Structure 1
């Protein structure tokens, strides 16, 4: 089965530890997820995200309700973490978040490797559609990250 790969990055004018701490708080996931997904956290196994944390949330994809359970498989504080889908709409979802110092701020890089269900049929009928959805979701996320984190940089000056 062929995986699809999506990558994106953005710079935030804040130190890496501050940016990483934002992502380590699972409550912020709701703040950066598009409202049209109807996202809601149902369970989390730990207060702050760390290796082994499991998260269960609900969302709607094009009106279809579903539950998504993920686990933090890798965790390197202030550097990177990886979440994988345990239950949800994809045959595979592997999301690597990395954080790098960049020009007095932080470069956030996301790399998602995913596979649609139903093999080649899933790719044939849903490949472009899902790729477009993923791109829109991450574009919204980038806008929200900027809206939420850029004001913090002004406060720190």
Structure 2
């Protein structure tokens, strides 16, 4: 019944404004999610930019192509610095995802910090050890490669 943390850091050779514009738009989530996840936004009113209180509904297919409904809320936004999404309904007992941005020499340092908990007590811990952590790591590895394709690799990675 543990709470797990996943942290990734990526450097982008772009301005803070360009990075923020891209990552604060829900429409770009599908672009940086592996196609095998079957990610699809279902919200009709998700808005062009994230704002506190925003609800984003989508489906994902993380296991055997079975669609799962997921609802997150954008709980905190400080433009150009960070935003936080938290699961309101979905596959995790806890999902708290921080997205941080800061200007550095040569571009932007982007840091993702995810705290998550799998349901079903010890079975969830076993599932995390067997495949959930690997799958999450794979999603962030894909995201890093896709972002490099879109913006280029950071000079300090």
Task: Check whether the contact 1:116–1:127 (CA below 8 A) recurs between aligned residues.
Answer: no
Which position in structure 2 is the counterpart of 1:72? 74
Distance in 1 of aligned mates of 2:53 and 2:47: 9
- 1:50 corresponding residue in structure 2: 51
Partners of 1:26 and 1:45 in 2: CA distance = 7
The two structures have a TM-score, normalised by structure 1, of: 0.91
1:16 matched residue in structure 2: 16
Residue matched to 2:32: 32
TM-score of the superposed pair, with normalisation by structure 2: 0.91
Task: Report the counterpart of residue 121 of structure 1 in structure 2.
Answer: 123
Distance 1:17 1:125 in 2: 39
Question: Quick one: distance in 2 between partners of 1:108 and 1:119?
Answer: 32
Cα shift at 1:18: 1.2
Residues 32-52 of structure 1: CA deviation (Å, up to 9, x unaligned): 000000111110433321111
Residue 146 (structure 1) aligns with: 148
SS at match of 1:132: helix
Gaps of 5+ in 2: none
Structure (1/2) with the larger helix percentage: 1
Matched residue pairs, number?
A: 152
In the TM superposition, residue 2 of structure 1 has moved relative to its aligned partner by 2.0
